[in-house]
Amino acid sequence: MNNYRKGWALRYIREAKAELIAAQKTPYMASGLILEAMRKAQAAIYYSLGDPAFIEAAVRQTDHTKQFIEDPILRCLVEVERTVRQVAQAPEADREKAIKQADDLIQIASGIVELFTGEKA
């Protein structure tokens, strides 16, 4: 991994964690902050794996096929995309569930970033 991608992956994961903390502290802004935290965690994963634009295009194309995905990494990325989309469409009443989903995603993304960068995320 080059330093450019490494820097962005680490930055996005730090920002995702900060957005989630802010969402927990400011309920009136929580829905937007939760979604932003999830998108940043997703971006951190993409930067860890390669060219984010290419990965995002592959994930969206695969997601639209609605067929079983054999590749476990691609299947995981599609599940992340679906989870982010689900939270984006969820009503405000599911805030606690959304916070839990965002926290889970950030933990997964942190593990991936740490694996590929060799640095604590």
Structural domains present in the chain = 3-117 (1.20.120)
Residues 42, 80 contacting (CB under 8 angstroms): yes
The number of C-alpha atoms within 13 Å of 87 and in the hemisphere containing its C-beta is: 26
The per-residue pLDDT for 91 is: 65
Question: Residue 82 is which amino acid?
Answer: R
The per-residue pLDDT for 81 is: 95
CA angle 51, 39, 24 (to 5 degrees): 150
pLDDT tens-digit readout, 53-93: 999 999 999 998 878 889 999 999 999 999 999 988 876 76
pLDDT tens-digit readout, 10-22: 999 999 999 999 9
